[in-house]
């Protein structure tokens, strides 16, 4: 039986749905309307393709997961690049839905794995923590730029409040991990690696559930740490990273930096790159990529990190 890919463009108030044989229609982004669409998709065995769109796709994703409907939640930039490659320059909700259906049929993206309730709760707390950290960063910048005593006092009180809120989010993340036996074991194993603390581990658990299930190149691409070639003719362009999941990339960069300071093998790896002329940032990114490969291999094999070695990657 040939798979039928349906594209869904998600907006705050509605969904534009393109079926290759029936055209495009619009429904409300409401529980009842989404439930009816998902139920019909389950009966006919459709494969739904939609972009990650912040929180607006929550109803759709949870409904698809509950009914066991296969779906692919794709990166918006990948979807836009595909549309351009198809010669489509215009951008409307209907066009986007049609392009998502075409993307599914031509590229056959991997099915997005359902997220269990514990990981979903962890994702919510990790997202809230990032928001609070960003707010604190903004207020810290304002404090540096403000001379007025009363304004500075007000900013300092808000920074103190944000510190408490961030600490509370940290506690909630740890509690979610600790009460779930599977997540607790993953957390324990990840934290055997120097540089991987509780927040890094919790973020990887929440935002990179594929860890330990893919090969090292695929997991590096998901994390946004895979080097992208920019060669043309005889010109060998400088490799860069991009795409993937930005928060995962940021956390792994921090973990790679700390690992290169605490573990002899990671330190030697980074040192060799810098001695060969690699810029410091590029060396740390490479160390983060090596760290990710190690973590991926550890979870795949069910082994802890052996201090002083990094042969798992």
Residues 224 and 129 in one domain: no
Element (H, E) at 154: helix 149-179
- Which pLDDT belongs to residue 246? 86
Give 85-141 pLDDT, tens digit per residue: 999 887 899 999 999 999 999 999 989 888 888 999 999 999 999 999 999 999 999
- Which pLDDT belongs to residue 312? 47
- Which pLDDT belongs to residue 77? 83
Q: Helix, strand, or coil here: 24? A: strand
Q: How far is it, in rounded angstroms, from Cα 74 to Cα 245? A: 11
Q: How far is it, in rounded angstroms, from Cα 100 to Cα 49? A: 6
- Which pLDDT belongs to residue 237? 43
Q: Which residues of the chain have pLDDT under 50?
A: 229-237, 239, 241-242, 312-313
The domain that holds 83 is classified in CATH as: 3.30.420.40
Residues 103 and 146 in one domain: no
Of the residues 179, 209, 233, which one is the last residue of a structural domain? 179
Among residues 241, 255, 258, 246, which one has the least CA distance to residue 292? 255
Total structural domains within the chain: 3
Of the residues 48, 81, 107, which one is the last residue of a structural domain? 107
Q: How far is it, in rounded angstroms, from Cα 254 to Cα 259? A: 9
DSSP secondary structure string for all residues of 253-281: HHHHHHHHHH-HHHHHHHHHHHHTT--HH
Q: Helix, strand, or coil here: 141? A: helix
Handedness of CA 200, 205, 209, 214 (dihedral sign): positive
Number of other CB atoms surrounding residue 77 within 10 Å: 11
The model carries a pTM of 0.75
Q: Domain range for residue 81?
A: 5-107
Q: How far is it, in rounded angstroms, from Cα 227 to Cα 119? A: 28
DSSP character at residue 113: P
Q: Helix, strand, or coil here: 138? A: helix
Residues 209 and 161 in one domain: no
Residues 49 and 69 in one domain: yes
Residues 297 and 244 in one domain: yes
- Which pLDDT belongs to residue 270? 96
What are the φ and ψ backbone dihedral angles of 263, each rounded to 5 degrees?
-120, 135
- Which pLDDT belongs to residue 313? 45
**Could you tell me if residue 94 is left (phi over 0), alpha (psi between -120 and 50 degrees) or otherwise beta?**
alpha
């Amino acid at each position: 039986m040939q798979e039928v890919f349906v594209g869904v463009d998600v907006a705050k108030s509605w969904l534009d749905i393109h079926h290759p044989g029936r055209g495009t229609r619009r429904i409300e982004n409401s529980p009842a309307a989404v439930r009816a669409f998902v139920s019909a998709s389950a009966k006919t065995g459709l494969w739904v393709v939609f972009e990650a769109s912040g929180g607006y796709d929550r109803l759709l994703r949870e409904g698809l997961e509950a009914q066991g409907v296969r779906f692919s939640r794709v990166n918006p930039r990948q979807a836009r690049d595909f549309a351009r490659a198809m010669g489509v320059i215009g951008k409307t909700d209907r066009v986007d839905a049609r392009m998502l259906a075409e993307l599914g049929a031509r590229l056959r993206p991997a099915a997005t794995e359902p997220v269990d309730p514990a990981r979903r709760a962890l994702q919510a707390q990790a997202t809230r923590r990032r928001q609070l950290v960003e707010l604190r960063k903004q207020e810290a910048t304002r404090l540096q730029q403000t001379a007025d005593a009363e304004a500075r006092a007000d900013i300092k009180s808000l920074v103190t409040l944000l510190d408490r809120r961030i600490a509370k989010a940290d506690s909630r993340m740890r509690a979610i991990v600790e009460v779930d036996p599977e997540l607790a074991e993953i957390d324990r194993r990840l934290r055997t690696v120097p540089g991987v603390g509780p927040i890094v581990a919790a973020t990887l658990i929440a935002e990179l559930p594929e860890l330990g299930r893919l090969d090292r190149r695929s997991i590096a691409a998901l994390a946004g740490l895979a080097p992208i070639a920019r060669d043309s003719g005889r010109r060998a362009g400088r490799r860069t990273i991009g795409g993937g999941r930005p928060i995962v990339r940021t956390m792994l960069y921090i973990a790679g930096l700390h690992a290169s300071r605490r573990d002899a093998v990671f330190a030697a790896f980074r040192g060799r790159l810098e001695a060969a002329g690699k810029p410091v940032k590029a060396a740390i990114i490479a160390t983060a990529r090596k760290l990710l490969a190690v973590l991926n291999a550890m979870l795949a094999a069910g082994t802890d990190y052996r201090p002083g070695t990094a042969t798992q990657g």
